Structure 1
Amino acid sequence: MTSTRKTALVAGTFYLITFIASIPAALLFLDPILNNANYIVSAGSDTRVVWGCLLDVVNALACIGTAVTLFPVVKRQNEALALGFVTSRMLEAAVIMIGVVSLLAVVTLRQDFAGHPGTDTATLVTTGRALVAVRDWTFLLGPGLMPALNALLLGTLMYRSRLVPRIIPAMGLIGAPLLLAAATATLFGLTDQTSAWSAIAALPVAAWELSLGVWMVVKGFRPSPILAPTVPTGTGRPLTPAA
């Protein structure tokens, strides 16, 4: 297995991990704390919530992994865009981690104060709702918005380099403006983040990331000029084996 094939395999695996980790976390494990306004004073499902937070941490780390793994390859196409992709992925991961910390804070407050004598229940509920609201905003500005920027940066690099079939990055480049529009509409209260419009707008970018991950795992990179061995400065010709 060549080094570029290994790079594609690792990067594709990281992309698939983001799906494997984020979808169960959002739809299954974190449901009790996200959809129960009084969770902080309820019986709670702390173990379930902590598992969901752990999956979000895995998602954040996998986000960084996709960019760091691909950087040595895609920088040969355009180093500025490649560095921008790494930065945007790291920012996305950081925002996700802020949401994780806010939910873990709710769990800690519930365990330490809920039901104890002298606890101001109303204040505790307000604090819990505020922390969940922080997580909701991080979900919009992190996984809800940053994938559009990621698609524009990496999609451009993949489209120009032809490392994968152009139809794959084309989905990301088409979907990025739709996702940006949906996130902006949610930011200004015009639509809800869970609305049908928001879901439809997110589909092309989700399809781009999933298809990119699957292609790199199964097929690897296609032949491309940027994968050609580099020529050391001053030689003027490729290196050849010694006779």
Structure 2
Amino acid sequence: MEATRRTAAVTGALFLVTEVAAIAGLALYRPALDGAAYVTGTGADQRVLLGALCEMVLLLAVVGTGVSLFPVLRRRHEALALGYACGRLLEAAVIAVGIVGMLAVVTLRGKATHAGSGDGAAFEAAATALTAIHDWTFLLGPNVVLGANTLVLAYAMHRSGLVPRPLTLLGLVGGTAICASAVAVLFGIYPQVSVAGSAAALPVFAWEVILAVRLLTRGFEPVAPAPAPA
């Protein structure tokens, strides 16, 4: 029981880290998201590098949640536990691609600073392409894959009763909403960073924060042992 309580606390802390690191990383990346203007301007390299560090913390915390929850979920639903752990690894891999894109923009700005003015258009085009890679990973990782992972985790916890049912329903609604929003952004119905996109992300944000606080303060709900196979 003590080990399970400790696992719940670690998982809750990791979920809070993912939220803080994701928000901080996006805010710090802001100057470099307009790649063409960034490479020809004064730049804010230290700020972007700090954003990359936050994203690396996010990446590790994302993997950590999958690892920490695996032994708990496996006792009731091994396939869902494995699916969630693999899904978090996939989400982290997509985030890593976005980090590399932003770091490459910083490198490109340094080279553009020492290059002749005649190469400016080429540097701007390359920076625009790298920024586009980050934008697509931001859509696929923290939206599509995150939404799918949220659905898997919420469904597993709903079936096992590890947390109260109203909380798992919030996760199911949030996962569905952010996946649907990602499809809308993919087909150009509205921008990802918009009122509609933010509204679709709120249920997932609420699910992860409330789940984190619940695990930190109360732990998992006591669950009856699964019946032995015949």
Offset at 1:74?
0.5
Q: Distance in 2 between matches of 1:66 and 1:119?
A: 48
In structure 2, the gaps of 5 or more residues are: none
Q: Deviations over 1:123-174 (max 9, x none)?
A: 0000001101100000000002212111111101111111111111110111
Matched-pair contact (CA < 8 Å) for 2:35–2:130: no
Q: 1:206 corresponds to which residue?
A: 205
More helix by share: 2
CA gap 1:72/1:164 in 2 versus in 1, 3 angstroms: same
Is 1:12 the counterpart of 2:8? The answer is no
Q: 1:158 corresponds to which residue?
A: 157
Q: Deviations over 1:171-212 (max 9, x none)?
A: 011122221111001111111101211111111111111111
Matched-pair contact (CA < 8 Å) for 2:34–2:128: no
What are the within-5 Å matches in structure 2 for residues 80-95 of structure 1? 80-95=79-94
Offset at 1:36?
5.6
Structure 2 length-normalised TM: 0.94
Q: Distance in 1 between matches of 2:156 and 2:84?
A: 10
In structure 2, what residue type is equivalent to 1:179?
Answer: I
In structure 2, what residue type is equivalent to 1:20?
Answer: V
Offset at 1:115?
4.0
Q: Distance in 1 between matches of 2:119 and 2:88?
A: 40
Larger radius of gyration: 1
Matched-pair contact (CA < 8 Å) for 1:114–1:121: no
Moved over 2 A (4+): 112-119
Matched-pair contact (CA < 8 Å) for 2:170–2:203: yes
In structure 2, what residue type is equivalent to 1:33?
Answer: A
Q: 2:24 corresponds to which residue?
A: 24
Secondary structure class of the residue paired with 2:36? coil
Matched-pair contact (CA < 8 Å) for 2:35–2:131: no
Offset at 1:69?
0.3
In structure 1, what residue type is equivalent to 2:224?
Answer: P
In structure 1, the gaps of 5 or more residues are: 237-243
Question: Percent identity among equivalent residues?
Answer: 44
Offset at 1:119?
5.5
Matched-pair contact (CA < 8 Å) for 2:34–2:131: no
Total equivalences in the alignment: 230
Q: Which moved more, 1:185-194 or 1:91-100?
A: 185-194
